[in-house]
Amino acid sequence: MNTIICTAFFGVVMMFFGVFVKSKKSPKYAAIIGLSAIILLNISELITGNSFFQIDIHEMLHFDNFNLLFITIALSCTLIYFLLSGSEIEKVGNHVGEYFALIFFVLCGISIAATFNTLLMLFIGIEIISIPLYILTASDKRNLKSNEAALKYFLMGAFSTGIMLMGIAFIYGGNPAASFHIDKIQLGIGKMPVMIAIGLLFLMVSMSFKVSAAPFHFWTPDVYDGAPTVFTSFMSTIVKAAGFFAFIRLFEHAFGVIQDQWQHLIIFITVATLLIGNVTAVFQQSVKRMLAYSSIAQAGFMLLALFALNGKAKEGILLYSAAYSLATIGMFGILTKMEDFTIDGFNGLAKEKPLLAFATTVFLLSLTGVPLTAGFQSKFFMLMAAVENGQHIWLVIVAVLFAAVSAYYYFKIIQSMYFKEAKTSGIVKLDALSKPFNIMLMVIVVIILIIGIYPEILIGWMYH
């Protein structure tokens, strides 16, 4: 509860901040301080179980260790993102305060989407996430690609929202208990009623759209490519993880008991996502677009949690959110410093900026899932969850084979950095490498390695 109220409130503060404070630097510092405070409040709620705000919410939201921990992870990743790429946000346009305000609103939406207890709160949460994102995508106002991406995102997003709302309506209509509460949907005995089935299908489609799972992924590469790189970084990591969290929460609580009736649909979506994401990523020349497709591919792995839907899957999704977000935020942070976004643009980076190349290597190894990195632990937990489920081991084998494919495109960047010579000097932007940026990169590297060696440092919080 702390987070929802504080992020919303602080978002409003940030909005006015731009009006009253003229300095371009100060919004960043304000945002960092504010977010740190919110994280502390959230952790105190996680530890004590009590919120500072006693509001009767009529069971529309539910707070437990699991979702509070997820919110902590999302907020902390955002803080790291601010620290690493905050100065890039300042370069996007003149309304710096507003960009930060919008991100705070997204965080508010994430907190709702992670804790919803009724379908209406889910809808509100997802919408609060989406609408600021449309604006952020379009924030590079004079860039045609950014505008196109925003329009595309908005139209597709609105469409999927409509489908979601319709799904909710169907479920409400087909539910004899006449309730939006996700634990009170009566699914009947045997085959589920038609209305519920239609509702479930619609919800699955719209949620797949939000997390860019195939075959509903078409908007992703264009939007990620068109949006300003700093915001792509935010959209493709923290927001996406939140979408997954909501997806899993919804299907676990509302339809968990009849999992065998919809599991094959998820299997289909998982395989399609892995296939399309990985195979298309192989052919990309632009690193930014490659990361967009790789985010689809990683979504395929996260879908395994939905397939498994057990305790390990919960731990897995937490680890995956953290590991994937950290590595990708780092990658995008480095990308914003590059002159050339193609893979050849990374040629010879190791010689010019060894530290940068080392950090990039760790991020890529983590995304590939090599031991000692957080990425390995997250994949490992996902695989454990899926194997524990007992059925469809072939799906797990398909998933790891695609993980081997993913090594191909991630390692292409490592190869350019270390084993190829730069054609021109000046691979990196001149103003690029400030000391704080380097320190932040190293901090992310260290966090990735710590989680990689001892993941219980993170998931242990679930059992406090």
Partner 1 sequence: MGNYFTFPDLLIWLPILAGGFCFFSKKDKEAKRTAIVFSIIILGVSVATLFFTDSVKHLNLNYVNYIWLKYLGATYYIGIDSTGRMLTLLTAIGFPIVLIATSNTTFKKPANFYGLLMLTQAGLMGVFLAMDALTFYFFWELALIPVYFLSSQWGGEKRIQATFKFFVYTFAGSLLMLIGIIYVYMHTGARSFEDGTIANHSFALNSFYNAQLSAVEQNWLFILFFIAFAIKMPIFPFHTWQPDAYDQSPTAVTMILSGIMVKMGLFGVIRWLIPMFPAASIHYRNVIMLLSIIGIVYASCIAMMQDNIKRLIAYSSIAHIGLMCAAIFAMNQISIQGVMLQMFNHGINIIGMWVVVEIIERQTGIKKISQLSGLATTAPTLTIFFIIIALANIALPLTNAFTGEFLMFSGIYNYNTWFAAIAGIGIILSAVYTLNMIQKVFYGSVNAATAEVKDISWNEKIVLLLIVGIIFFIGVYPQPLIDLTSGEINDLLLRIK
Please identify which residue in the block is written with the tokens 């469409």.
159
Q: Which residue number, 38 or 396, has a Cβ lying nearer to partner 1? A: 396
**CA of residue 70 relative to chain centroid, distance:** 11
Closer to partner 1 by CB, 115 or 377: give it.
377
Q: Which residues contact 386 (CB under 8 A, 6 or more apart)?
A: 304, 307, 308, 313, 392, 395, 396, 399
Binding mask 315-354 for partner 1 (x = CB under 8 A): ----------------------------------------
From the list 83-91, 197-205, 217-225, 397-405, the region that binds partner 1 by CB under 8 A is 397-405
Residue from the set 173, 188, 371, 426 that interacts with partner 1 by CB under 8 A? 371
Q: From CA 112, how far away is CA 118, in angstroms rounded? A: 11
> Least distance (Å) from partner 1 to the CB of residue 397?
6
CA gap 407, 376 in Å, rounded: 13
By the 8 A CB rule, do 446 and 306 touch? no
Tell me, rounded to whole angstroms, the distance of Cα 51 from its chain centroid. Answer: 26
**Near partner 1 by CB under 8 A: residue from 227, 403, 444, 448:** 403
**Integer Cα distance of 150 and 144 in angstroms:** 10
CB 308 within 8 A of CB 246: no
40 binds partner 1 (CB under 8 A): no
Residue 283 as a binder of partner 1 (CB under 8 A): the answer is no
CB 453 to partner 1: min, Å = 9
Residue 411 in the binding site for partner 1 (CB under 8 A): yes
Count of chain residues binding partner 1 (CB under 8 A): 26
- Contact between 358 and partner 1 by CB under 8 A: the answer reads no
Q: How many CB atoms lie within 10 A of CB 244?
A: 24
Residue 52 tokens, joined: 């500072």
Nearest CA to 220 out of 210, 206, 233 is that of 210
**Contact between 456 and partner 1 (CB under 8 A)?**
yes
Tokens read off for 106: 């997204």
Rounded CA-CA distance 183/163 in Å is: 21
Query: What letter represents residue 126's amino acid?
Result: I
Choose one: 75-83, 296-304, 403-411, 425-433; the region binding partner 1 (CB under 8 A). 403-411
Listed ranges 43-51, 129-137, 324-332, 410-418: which one lies at the site for partner 1 (CB under 8 A): 410-418
Instruction: Based on the shown chain and the rule CB under 8 A, indicate whether residue 29 belongs to the binding site for partner 1.
Output: no
Question: If binding is defined by CB under 8 A, does position 446 make contact with partner 1?
Answer: no
H-assigned helices in 93-118 = 96-115
Least distance in angstroms from the C-beta of 288 to partner 1: 23
Give the Cα separation of 125 and 237 in Å (integer). 17
Question: Shortest gap between Cβ of 277 and partner 1 (angstroms)?
Answer: 17
Query: How distant is the alpha carbon of residue 355 from its chain centre?
Result: 26
Is 156 or 407 the residue whose CB approaches partner 1 more closely?
Answer: 407
Least separation in angstroms between residue 403's CB and partner 1 is 6
* Binding of residue 370 to partner 1 (CB under 8 A): yes
Residue 223 to residue 155: CA distance in whole angstroms: 12
Least distance in angstroms from the C-beta of 456 to partner 1: 6
The stretch among 54-62, 78-86, 212-220, 406-414 that binds partner 1 (CB under 8 A) is 406-414
Q: What is the dihedral of CA 226, 227, 232, 236, to 10 degrees?
A: -70
What is the three-class DSSP state of 304?
helix
356 binds partner 1 per the rule CB under 8 A: no
Judged by CB under 8 A, the residue of 145, 419, 423, 436 near partner 1 is 419
418 touching partner 1, by CB under 8 A:
yes
179 dihedral zone (left: phi>0; alpha: psi -120 to 50; beta): beta
> What residues between 210 and 239 interact with partner 1 by CB under 8 A?
none
Interface ranges with partner 1 (CB under 8 A): 365, 370-372, 380, 383-384, 387-388, 393, 396-397, 400-401, 403-404, 407-408, 411, 415, 418-419, 454-456, 463
